[in-house]
Amino acid sequence: MAFDSTQTASPLDRVLEFIRVLEAGGGAAKIRPYLADSFVLVEAPHLLAPEGSTRTLDDVLAGADQSSQVVANQKFVIRRTTCEGGRVAVEADWSATVLMDIRYWDRGETIRARTSSVFEVRDGLLTSQDSYDCYFR
């Protein structure tokens, strides 16, 4: 019988595992086991998306596969976490190396942001993420 961490890990543990998979450059296949079919990512307006965005599971998985063409060497420094039931709040410093010229950054530069995200976890799967990113220029 295979070990199933979705049934034994706390909501906080599942979110931190998910973040580590993202940090390692995990594409769609690697992040999919963490996400519920109904997963929704809501991004508040920020420097790169002034209107904000709402993405479904399919959107998120497509973006995960494309991210390796845009950034490398992602790093999350977790500053603080809070967990209440299935709701997990994470504050982190994020950085990555830009692999192509994008608005405000040139290829090879380091992009940095202070992030806060609130995740909902049910039955070991992330059902939503509300993200608040503050990019440094």
Residue 8, pLDDT above cutoff 90 = no
Q: What digits encode the pLDDT tens for the residues 40-85? A: 999 999 998 999 999 999 999 999 999 889 999 999 999 999 999 9
What confidence tier does 137 reach under pLDDT thresholds 50, 70, 90? Answer: confident
Could you tell me which residues are beta bridge partners of residue 35?
126
Q: How far is Cα 40 from Cα 66, in angstroms, rounded to an integer?
A: 18
Stated pTM of the model? 0.91
Q: How far is Cα 129 from Cα 5, in angstroms, rounded to an integer?
A: 20
Q: What digits encode the pLDDT tens for the residues 77-118? A: 999 999 999 999 999 999 999 999 998 999 999 999 999 999
